[in-house]
Amino acid sequence: MQSPKAFTLAAHGAKMPVIGFGTMELPQRPAELVAYAIKCGYRLIDTARKYGTEERVGEGIRASGIARDELWVTTKVTELDAREADFLRSAETSLKALGLDYVDLLLVHWPQPKVPFAETLGALAKAKRSGLTRHIGVSNFTLAMLEEAVHVCPEPLVTNQIEYHAYLPQDRMIAALRRHGMILTAYCPVARGKLLDDPIVGEIAKAHGKTHAQICLRWLIQQPMVAAVPRALEEAHIVENLDVFDFSLNDEEMRRISTLRSRNIRIADPPERAPKWDVETIA
C-alpha cells in the first residue's frame, strides 16, 4: 500500500487529507478503531458533536501515540446550536471531549433556517479567529445556502461536506465549490453499501483486482477537489478503504461509473433537519 500522507487537497491555506476515517455510528470499540485507523495511515479523523463519538475519538488519538500536528481532526456543531453563544460553547465542549487544544476543521453540521446565516457563520469565523479551529466549512448546504454562506462568512470556507457517491449526482455543487476554491468532502461514499453489489462497479473492480468499495472511493478522489470520509466497522475494511492510491481508473471507467448517477439515490435525508435539496439535471 502506498503511503497516503502525500495525498492532500489544498484550499484557502488548508492541506486536507483526501481520505479520512468517519466515526458516525460506531457501535462498539470506537477508540480502538480510531487508533487502528491512525496506525494504518489515516491522517484525517472525522467526528461531530451529534455523533456522540468525540470522547472516544480523543481516546483513540491519544492511544495512537501520533504527534498532534500529524493529524487532521474535523468536528461539527449541530444545528441546534446555531446561535452565536451556543455555537461557541459547543465548539469549546467538543475540544474538551476530544482532549484537544484545537481542531483542524470545524463545520456547521446542518443548516438552521431559524437563525440568520450571518450569525451562525459569524460565530464559525469567530471560532477560527479565537483559535478553536484552524479552518472552517459547512456541511449539507444546498447551492443557494453555499452562496450565502460564502458571502456572509468573514473567513474563507474550506469545504462543504455532503452526501456524494456514484448513485447521487452532485455536478452543480461540484462546479460551485470549484468556483469558490473549496473541497467537496463526500460522506456515504459507497451509498451505505448499496454500491457494493453494483455489476458495473464489480466488473471494474475485477479488472483492477480491487474491491467494490475501493473502486467507489477511487472514483471519488480521482475527481478534482473531492475528498471522502468512509466509515468502517472492521479492521479489514479500515485497511481496504485506504488502499486506493496504487491504481487509477481510465477515462472510460470513470465515465461508466458516472452513468450510475441516473439512479439518483439519496441516503441521508432526515426530515427534521434536511433542507430542500437541489435538483440535478443528469445529462
Domain of 258, CATH number, reads 3.20.20.100
pLDDT tens per residue, range 43-59: 999 999 999 999 999 99
Instruction: Please report which confidence band the pLDDT of residue 283 belongs to, taking 50, 70 and 90 as the band edges.
Output: low
201: enclosing H helix or E strand: helix 199-208
> For residues 131 and 23, what is the distance between their CA atoms, to the nearest angstrom?
24
Write down the catalytic residue from 36, 42, 51, 167: 51
Please report the pLDDT score of residue 28 as a whole number: 75
Counting the structural domains of the chain, the total is 1
The pLDDT-based confidence of 135 (bands split at 50, 70, 90) is: very high
Full residue range of the structural domain in which residue 152 is found: 4-263
Please indicate, yes or no, if residue 192 is contained in any of the structural domains.
Answer: yes
Q: Which of 89, 84, 83, 128 is nearest to 106 (CA)?
A: 128
106 strand-pairing partners: 75, 136
Residue 104, pLDDT score: 98
| pLDDT of amino acid 30 | 87
Its pTM surpasses 0.85: yes
Question: Per the domain annotation, does 22 fall within a domain?
Answer: yes
Domain membership of residue 276 (yes or no) is no
The cell for 258 is 458516472
Our answer to whether residue 51 is catalytic in this structure is yes
- Whether residue 206 is contained in a domain is answered as yes
Is residue 94, in this structure, part of any structural domain at all?
Answer: yes
Q: How far is CA 121 from CA 98, 102, 114, 242, in A?
A: 23, 18, 14, 33
Q: Would residue 277 count as lying in a domain?
A: no
CA distances from 73 to 44, 224, 234, 235 (A): 6, 22, 21, 20
Instruction: Answer whether 201's CB lies under 8 Å from 195's CB.
Output: yes
Q: Range with the lowest mean pLDDT among 8-17, 20-29, 150-159, 250-259?
A: 20-29
- 252 within domain boundaries: yes
CA–CA separation, 112 and 241 (whole Å):
32
**11 confidence band (pLDDT: 50, 70, 90):** very high
> Is 283 inside a domain boundary?
no
